[in-house]
């Protein structure tokens, strides 16, 4: 298991603007001393910083959703 460094003052939002959770700033095998309000949580080995986020409500690390597909403009005749 790895450890995710949570930055609670950096919020992660979905593409529609709704709040998802808090930013995972770093993932490390061994946690090191940090200053509040940062904190460590145990996470799975596949977690990657800035591609996952911390959902404090559910107390879980969650992958960020993929971006929406590009909008294709209608053909103008």
Q: What is the pLDDT of residues 59-74, one digit of tens each?
A: 688 888 888 888 887 7
pTM of the full predicted structure?
Answer: 0.79
| The predicted structure's pLDDT at residue 77 | 59
Using an 8 Å Cβ cutoff, are 49 and 28 in contact? no
CA 8 to chain centroid, in Å, comes to 11
Sequential DSSP letters for 24-77: EEEEESS-----TT-EEEEE-TT--TTTEEEETTTTEEEEPPPPPPPPPPPPP-
Q: What is the pLDDT of residues 15-73, one digit of tens each?
A: 899 999 999 999 999 999 999 999 999 999 999 999 999 998 766 888 888 888 888 87
Structure tokens at 64: 């960020």
């Amino acid at each position: 298991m790895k450890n995710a460094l949570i930055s609670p003052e950096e919020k992660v939002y979905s593409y529609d603007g709704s709040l998802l959770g808090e930013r995972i700033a770093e993932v490390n095998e061994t946690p090191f001393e940090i200053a509040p309000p940062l904190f460590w949580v145990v996470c799975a080995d596949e977690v990657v910083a800035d591609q996952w986020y911390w959902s404090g409500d559910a107390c879980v690390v969650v992958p960020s959703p993929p971006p929406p597909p590009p909008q294709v403009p209608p053909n103008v005749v």
